[in-house]
Structure 1
Amino acid sequence: MKTKIIHLAALALICSSCAVVRPGEAGVKQTLGKFSKNISTQGTIFYNPFVSKVIKESTQTNNIKLILNLPTKEGLSVESEISILYRLELQKIPIILENLGQDYESIITSVFRSASSDVCAKFYAKDMHSGMRANIEEEIKQKMLINLEKQADGIELIAVLMKSIQLPRGLASSIEQKLQAEQDAMRMEFIIQQAKLEAERKVIEAKAERDAQKNSCRRLNKRNYSVT
């Protein structure tokens, strides 16, 4: 009985002293608070559970989702769903854990809040609902890269995406009306241009017909002159 208990205890100790790192993960051993520089990307890591533990982090692209009210140049507040795509640089994971701990996403979020407020305040609300959105996203990303390099080296920022822009009701209606008016103006301009082209075509056809009649009259006159 004692032997069985000893075997079970030994098995439990073995199980508690190993960690499995799956594909898409990186494992770093932490011993007495200090992180090892050795990084395991797949397989089993054995460690002393009394003084060590294994921290596992994703090496894939991660997505931080936020819903924020962003300021605009005219002083309005625009609600937007945000996606921040990032991944950890494999060789710098121990440094990230050493400097920031496992709560590094809070740093990314904080950097985004600051950058987005500064950038969005330079644009009108309608810009966030137009082709200018890509420019705003890129400007926020570049500003974040500068700050992350200072505060969180090793975090690779892939993209900042602004989705589901919710404009104030009155502004949304006015933008839709403006877009409709612009489309109507473009449609009318097209109709006018087509009418001009049609008129020019008719003038050319009429001129060609007159020239043909003149040539026919000349030939007829020459024939009559030859007969006389």
Structure 2
Amino acid sequence: MATNNYPNLTRALARMGVLVLLFILLAAMAGGCMTTTIGSGQAGVKYSIFGGTDLNQTFGEGLQVHAPWVDIIRYDVRVEEKLEAMEVLSSNGLNIGMDVSVRWQPEVDRLPQLHTTYGTDYYRKLIQPELRSAVREVVGRYTPEQLYSSKRTELQGQIFERVKTGVEPRFVKVEAVLIRDVRLPEQIRVAIENKLKEEQEAERYQYTLEKERLEAERKRIEAEGEAEYQRIITQSLSSQFLRFKGIEATQLLANSPNTKTIIIGAGDDGLPVILGGQ
């Protein structure tokens, strides 16, 4: 009798085991181990313990359902920016403090390659070393005075190109490199500011001298023009011209309604003699 019940007991235990496994599976699914939520501005990379990283697919935002042996690694794919405080050497060996920020964004369609090459800590492994190396290399070509004043824009552009060349072939797009601050030793900074002030004063003095020189030149040309005008007028006053103007004036007076006496005669110069009504 007991022997006949043994197979039934075995089957009952087997069914119970199956039910327990189904319950565990359903509980695991309810607990979320087979779903991954990818938030706004994120993307996901699929990793399976059986097949490794899926290099051909990137998951977008929303709820992703997957097998228990699959993991979805989330990445922030929005534009990010980070500030680096650095100490570097100028061309003459002085220690320069700099605050430099870099702005970047991972390439979404190449996110699996980024994951297998650098992982989620790709900033520390890729971008940060390239930025620091570029800053040291480029700053080492300039003097503190150039870094503090006229060459900052040029410096910033060179660092950006250097970082871009090193990072962009490795699945990350670099959007900008910005120099936020340059800190010099106090005595160097004061000396540079004094020198710049002296140069500005010298430029202002040169401008004043040039302005006065141009004004003197203008007056000289004006005086020469006036003298030339007087010379032309003097040469134009011939006896024939004066006689013509005298006749013209006599005609105007004769036609005037005012009372007058006009005596026309030939003087030494040949001009009319005009007497008023006295």
User: Structure 2 regions of 5+ residues with no counterpart?
Assistant: 1-22, 245-268, 271-278
CA distance in 1, matches of 2:111, 2:216: 72
Q: Provide the residue aligned with 1:133 in structure 2.
A: 152
Q: Provide the residue aligned with 2:195 in structure 1.
A: 178
Q: Provide the residue aligned with 2:83 in structure 1.
A: 65
Q: Provide the residue aligned with 2:14 in structure 1.
A: none
CA distance in 2, matches of 1:110, 1:208: 72
Q: Cα offset for 1:166?
A: 0.9
Q: 1:215 aligns with which of 213, 218, 232?
A: 232
Q: Cα offset for 1:12?
A: 6.6
TM-score (norm 2): 0.70
CA distance in 1, matches of 2:226, 2:136: 68
Q: 2:45 aligns with which of 18, 21, 28?
A: 28
Letter in 1 for 2:119: G
User: Structure 1 regions of 5+ residues with no counterpart?
Assistant: 1-5
Bigger relative contact order, structure 1 or 2 (CA pairs below 8 A, ≥6 apart)? 1
Identity of aligned residues (%): 23
Q: Provide the residue aligned with 1:45 in structure 2.
A: 64
3-state DSSP class of the match of 2:103? strand
TM-score (norm 1): 0.84
Letter in 2 for 1:124: T
3-state DSSP class of the match of 1:147? helix
Q: Provide the residue aligned with 1:112 in structure 2.
A: 131
1:172-191: CA deviation from partner (whole Å, max 9, x where unpaired): 11111121122112211211
Letter in 2 for 1:174: A
Extract structure 1 runs of 4+ deviating beyond 6 A: none
Letter in 2 for 1:218: Q
Q: Provide the residue aligned with 1:77 in structure 2.
A: 95
1:161 aligns with 2:184: no
Letter in 1 for 2:42: E
CA distance in 1, matches of 2:30, 2:211: 85
Letter in 2 for 1:72: S
1:73-113: CA deviation from partner (whole Å, max 9, x where unpaired): 11011111110111111111111111111111112112222
Q: Cα offset for 1:139?
A: 2.3
CA distance in 2, matches of 1:216, 1:141: 71
Q: 2:161 aligns with which of 133, 138, 142?
A: 142
Q: Provide the residue aligned with 1:99 in structure 2.
A: 117
CA distance in 2, matches of 1:56, 1:205: 81
CA distance in 2, matches of 1:60, 1:133: 28
Letter in 1 for 2:218: R
CA distance in 2, matches of 1:147, 1:216: 79
Superposition CA RMSD, Å: 2.5
CA distance in 2, matches of 1:211, 1:225: 24
Q: Cα offset for 1:114?
A: 2.0
Q: Please identify the structure whose Cα radius of gyration is greater.
A: 2
3-state DSSP class of the match of 1:23? coil
Letter in 1 for 2:233: S
1:25-81: CA deviation from partner (whole Å, max 9, x where unpaired): 212222228222311222221123x42322221222211211111211110111111
